[in-house]
Amino acid sequence: MMLLERGLIEFLLSIVTREELNAFLRSPQNTATLVGALIAVCGALLGTFLLLRGMSLTSDAISHTVLLGIVVAFLLMTETFGLEGDTSSPWLILGASLAGVATVVLTEMLYRSGLVKQDAALGLAFPLLFAIAVILVSRFVDDVHLDEDAVLVGEIGLAWANTNSHCFDHCESVTITPDHPAAKQTRQCVNCRELGISPRDEGAEFRRICSNCGDYTPAQAYRAGLLEREPLLVFFPKSITVMLLMTALTLVFVLLFFKELKLSTFDPGLAQALGLRPGWLNYGLMILVSLVAVGAFDAVGSILVIAFFIVPPAAAYLLTDRLSLMLFASPLIGAAGAVFGYDLARGQLFGVLPVSAGIAALNRLFGLELVERWDSSISASMVLMIFALFLLAWVFSPRYGLLSTMIRRANRRRRFADQVVLAHIHNHQHTALHKTECRMDTLHRHFRWRRGRMQRVMARLRALGYVRVVAGIAELTARGDRQVHAFRQTMLEANNMPDLE
Amino acid sequence: MAPGIALSSADRRVWLIIGAIIFAGLVTIPLSQQVFGLRLTYTVRVVALGGSILGVISGVLGCFAVLRQESLLGDALSHAALPGVAIAFLLAGRELSVLLIGAGIASWLGLRMVAAILNTTRIKQDTALGIVLVSWFAAGIALLAYIQAIPDASQAGLDHFIFGQAAAIIERDVTLVSGVGLAVLLFIALFWKEFKLVTFDAEFAGANGFRVGLINTVLSTLIVITIVLGLQLAGVILMVGMLIAPGIAARQWTHKLDQMVILAAVFGAFSGGVGAVISALDSDIPTGPMIIVVAFGLVLLSITLAPERGLLWRRLSQRANRRRFAAQNTLRDIYRYALSHGGADSLAPADFIRGVGDRSAELGLRQLRAAGQAAPGDGGWRLTESGIQQARQIARNERLWDMYRLYAHELELPILQEVRQVDIASVLPAAAVKQLESKLQEVDDSA
């Protein structure tokens, strides 16, 4: 992990200077946005396949159970092995992901027993595992990085502060022994507490101790004033490393198995027949979903993470029919949501509209007394912005959007109206009834339409040059005639009927 | 066995379980006092009462959610209640009934949103549920974070709606919950027929002129109300467990809706009450999760122990069947082999018997040897005289079963489950067996 980070930083340092890199990473906004965008990319890529396989809620499943895995692994680490609790430790990530996969398998077994329906199996297993995890957290874990709030929303806003430091020059680690000139010697009473006396009393025994002895990393040494030259340090947030690793894994998995994933998603039977092992691929997908859920736990908690899996692919699904385009669009949507989400949490909607102005307007309109300063959860805001992008896709999608559907329906209704009116005139214009059937002022009655509608349709037909009005009677122009015949022809061909005319 | 007797034994079983659960619930009270040193203070009693009442309501409504396969809808709707709580607090302050109305409205809007997504796009139900669940929940979290940033003490306790907290419940809340809950239960009782019909066969209900859409909406709304009532105790994330777990447990014990609903109510009362009491033992244990754990314990018990459906029961009956029919099946295998290899008393190789009979072959051979119907020798087994007699009888029984399968409809015989190892004369009236025998005679003559 450290090695990976170092390589990455060396690469980055060949592009930017150290000061620039540190300044970039030390800004909470940059780090939070970057982590959010990386989560969004992983989630959207995997979520696309989950959505197409009808397994969207599996991510919900996994995120709930992964929490239990994290808590148990965390307790094992701190209580049994006496390690420092760290939710980005590779062991914890591995253990918790295994827990995620195990639960998926268990739920499948539960509903295959035939006693419980699939939805009930899901609805039962996840609250249970989540409940156990919450009880464990609130009862046994006493740690700032793992409390109920962190479970819910994570702490993406603090991601910048949890860093590994890497030193590139003047890297002198300092060890202070009692003989070192900088060592601070003091004495401590060894039997005061035992005897209940103060160090000034008689009978107190002392020993000499060194208060600042020990090993110092270059960063600590410089801070403690033990080094004269400032070491060249880069502080790299752990969350970014973890999520970069997850993104790389996800990308490799999707690119390497793209053909297999595509086939087993759309035609599992054929994939099986071709020997592609869709079962194994499925487990691979589940493992990656678990890994991403664990990796993202620090940043966004265990519930909101499912938004990154479900919502961007759903939005992309409304925009395109092509898998490859979906795989491009959904990470973009997710990442854009992460970027806008940070702004929203800090009070800017889409980076331009201040939320406080909206609250002020509400206050004025309804006479409320709401506080106008909007400062909210970053991860929840990211989810809200992703949802806002989904809503935009839902309304404005060129093919499946509400708006385009409405326009398409209106067009179809208009075309139908044109055609029936043209057909009506065509049927009657060379007959004896022409004068009664096609009179402009009574025409609407033959269709049982309102007069206004007929006027609109006739105005359109006359503007198109299909119909002309002679002495209050409608008749087809040559162009209108051609139109009717062309339409008749297509209808007859579509129904395989001979032309009797 | 006449059907009337079978039914009443199932009924008796259900009542027995209800009694046992009530007994267990009553035992918990002195147990918690003696063993865990819980003092049944006024607060604890109020909390336990509230938990039980909520358990009854959510158990009853949960039955419908489970049977209509809407468990995950319950999950989405309970998450979706959170922003309503926050907005209601912002607008009207910390008054429980107002907060719950807000929660109900938000949850109901979530329901409409799911329906709108399903109706106007090609997104499938699970995805639509996921979208609404997480977006509404995020809105709630964002609003709660905004509220918490307000320098004002009165927002304290609002986040209890996320995981539930029993200590926050006071007598007035219990009164409110009981009142609304009673109304919901009355509604269910009044429109019992409609709800039952729509749950099991919506098409039939529609064809008979019931307004299925309206009834569905009413039922969903009742589920929303139930979820909202439970929020303070179970919290938005875990409310779905409290809703469906009692129903799932009850489903294992009975095939009748009315019994299932009563059982679920009792299970719900038990898990709500006991869960609330346990969480009152230690202030670090949130109530919602504890109730879920107790309820899941009941589910686990039910799917293991329940007669006919339970895992244990199925395992035992499979084993009993294997024992019961092992000798018979092995005898049949040997007889068939022997007939096609030179006569009823010729030798059947041991490998063949084991290959055909699998695990029960060994057991069957042991039983046959003990009964003196087959004897080992020359690397195989040979039927004895009494074995051949027995085998002929079995073969004839199987042929009668064949006749039953072919002509039962024509001869208007009663419909039976075909267990071909069973002597057909023991399950069919003598006259019917006579008819089958004459049919067999006809077939043999014509051959």
| A78-136 tens-digit pLDDT | 777 766 666 667 777 777 888 777 777 777 777 777 777 777 777 777 788 888 888 88
Average pLDDT of span B95-109: 88
User: Tell me, what's the pLDDT at B131?
Assistant: 93
Q: CA of A320: which chain B residue's CA is closest?
A: B122
CB contact under 8 A, A384 and B138: yes
User: Tell me, what's the pLDDT at A501?
Assistant: 55
Q: Which carries the bigger pLDDT value, residue B162 or residue A396?
A: A396
d(C-alpha A308, C-alpha A290), whole Å: 13
Q: Which carries the bigger pLDDT value, residue A496 or residue B4?
A: A496
pLDDT tens-digit map of A241-250: 888 888 999 9
Query: Which fold, B325-447?
Result: Arc Repressor Mutant, subunit A (1.10.10)
Q: CA Rg, chain B, in Å? A: 31
Task: Using a CB–CB cutoff of 8 Å, tell me whether B124 touches chain A.
Answer: yes
Residues B16 and B143: beta-carbon distance below 8 Å: no
Residues A173 and A237: beta-carbon distance below 8 Å: no
pLDDT(B405) > 80: yes
Q: Which residue has the tokens 């429980």?
A: B96
Question: Quick one: pLDDT band at residue A294, thresholds 50, 70, 90?
Answer: confident
Question: Quick one: pLDDT band at residue A313, thresholds 50, 70, 90?
Answer: very high
Average pLDDT of span A393-416: 90
Residues A84 and A143: beta-carbon distance below 8 Å: no
pLDDT(A220) > 90: no
pLDDT tens-digit map of A417-452: 888 888 888 888 888 888 888 888 888 888 888 888
Residues of chain B with CATH 1.10.3470.10: 16-309
Domains of chain A: 2-157+237-309 (no CATH), 168-236 (no CATH), 405-495 (1.10.10.10)
pLDDT tens-digit map of B336-373: 888 888 777 788 888 888 887 777 788 888 888 888 88
Q: Among A387-391, B162-166, B194-198, which stretch is predicted with the lowest mean pLDDT?
A: B162-166
Task: Using a CB–CB cutoff of 8 Å, tell me whether B162 touches chain A.
Answer: yes
Task: Name the pairing type of β-strands A206-210 and A185-189.
Answer: antiparallel
Average pLDDT of span B303-327: 81
Alpha helices per DSSP H over B149-211: 160-163, 171-190, 192-200, 202-207
φ, ψ (nearest 5 deg) of residue B379: 70, 20
Chain A residues touching B155 at Cβ < 8 A: none
Task: Using a CB–CB cutoff of 8 Å, tell me whether B113 touches chain A.
Answer: no
Write out the DSSP string of B20-43.
HHHHHHHHHHHHHHHTS-----HH
Angle CA A228–A233–A234, to nearest 5 = 165
Q: Among A168-172, B186-190, B278-282, which stretch is predicted with the lowest mean pLDDT?
A: A168-172
CB contact under 8 A, B240 and A127: yes
Q: CA of B76: which chain A residue's CA is closest?
A: A123
pLDDT(A296) > 50: yes
Alpha carbon B34 to its chain centroid, in Å, reads 34
Chain B residues touching A122 at Cβ < 8 A: 71-72
Q: Which residue has the tokens 């002020």?
A: A360
Other CB atoms within 10 Å distance of the CB of residue B392: 12
Percent pLDDT > 70 in chain A is 94
User: Tell me, what's the pLDDT at A383?
Assistant: 92
DSSP A471: T
Most A CBs within 10 A among B58, B70, B131, B290, hence the mutation to make, goes to B131
Task: Using a CB–CB cutoff of 8 Å, tell me whether B416 touches chain A.
Answer: no
Residues B329 and B360: beta-carbon distance below 8 Å: yes
Chain B residues touching A405 at Cβ < 8 A: 120
pLDDT tens-digit map of A345-363: 887 777 677 777 788 888 8
Structure tokens at B336: 């068939």
Q: Which carries the bigger pLDDT value, residue B281 or residue B243?
A: B243
Q: Which carries the bigger pLDDT value, residue A213 or residue B198?
A: B198
Q: Which of A129, A156, A134 is nearest to A147 (CA)?
A: A134
CB contact under 8 A, A400 and B282: no
CB contact under 8 A, A123 and B299: no
> Which of B123, B150, B163 has the CB atom closest to A134's CB atom?
B163
Mean pLDDT for all residues in chain B? 83
Cβ–Cβ pairs < 8 A, chains A and B: 178
Mean pLDDT for all residues in chain A? 82
> Which of B138, B288, B311 has the CB atom closest to A304's CB atom?
B138
Average pLDDT of span B143-171: 73
Chain B residues touching A135 at Cβ < 8 A: 285-286, 289-290, 293
d(C-alpha B267, C-alpha B133), whole Å: 27
Angle CA B13–B15–B16, to nearest 5 = 60
Task: Using a CB–CB cutoff of 8 Å, tell me whether B284 touches chain A.
Answer: yes
Q: What angle separates helix A378-396 from helix B125-148, to the nearest 10 degrees?
A: 140
Residues of chain B with CATH 1.10.10.10: 325-447
CB contact under 8 A, A402 and B130: no
pLDDT(B3) > 50: no
CB contact under 8 A, A314 and B127: yes
CB contact under 8 A, B131 and A310: yes
User: Tell me, what's the pLDDT at B6?
Assistant: 45
Task: Using a CB–CB cutoff of 8 Å, tell me whether B282 touches chain A.
Answer: yes
Average pLDDT of span A158-180: 73
Residues A281 and A17: beta-carbon distance below 8 Å: no
Angle CA A98–A2–A213, to nearest 5 = 115
d(C-alpha B145, C-alpha B163), whole Å: 16
User: Tell me, what's the pLDDT at B4?
Assistant: 41
Average pLDDT of span B166-194: 86
Q: Which of A217, A250, A216, A219 is nearest to A233 (CA)?
A: A219
**Distance between start and end Cα atoms, chain A:** 81
User: Percent helix, strand, coil in chain A (nearest 5)?
Assistant: 65, 10, 25
Task: Using a CB–CB cutoff of 8 Å, tell me whether B132 touches chain A.
Answer: no
Task: Using a CB–CB cutoff of 8 Å, tell me whether B129 touches chain A.
Answer: yes
What kind and span of H or E run contains A171? none
Q: Which of B16-30, B145-159, B207-221, B411-425 has the highest mean pLDDT?
A: B207-221
Find out if CATH 3.40.50.720 is the number for domain B16-309.
no
> Which of B121, B129, B241 has the CB atom closest to A400's CB atom?
B121
Average pLDDT of span B133-141: 92
pLDDT(A23) > 70: yes
CB-count exposure of residue A170 (10 Å: 0-12, 13-18, 19+)? middle
With a CB cutoff of 8 Å and minimum separation 6, the contacts of A412 are: none
Average pLDDT of span A367-377: 76
Q: CA of B89: which chain A residue's CA is closest?
A: A370
With a CB cutoff of 8 Å and minimum separation 6, the contacts of B157 are: B94, B165, B168
Structure tokens at A85: 């609790």
Task: Using a CB–CB cutoff of 8 Å, tell me whether B115 touches chain A.
Answer: no
- Alpha-carbon dihedral B243, B246, B248, B251, rounded to 10 degrees: -130
Chain A residues touching B130 at Cβ < 8 A: 56-57, 59-60, 306, 310-311
Residues B89 and B158: beta-carbon distance below 8 Å: yes
pLDDT(A182) > 80: no
pLDDT tens-digit map of B241-253: 888 899 989 988 8
Q: CA of A124: which chain B residue's CA is closest?
A: B241
Residues A381 and A302: beta-carbon distance below 8 Å: no
Distance from CA of A109 to the nearest CA of B (A): 12
Q: Among A127-141, A212-226, A485-499, which stretch is predicted with the lowest mean pLDDT?
A: A212-226
φ, ψ (nearest 5 deg) of residue B374: -145, 150
CB contact under 8 A, B142 and A345: yes
Chain B residues touching A400 at Cβ < 8 A: 121-122
d(C-alpha A228, C-alpha B101), whole Å: 65
pLDDT(A309) > 90: yes
Write out the DSSP string of A347-391.
TEETTTEEHHHHHHHHHHHHT----------HHHHHHHHHHHHHH
Q: What is the ipTM of this complex?
A: 0.82
Average pLDDT of span A23-50: 89
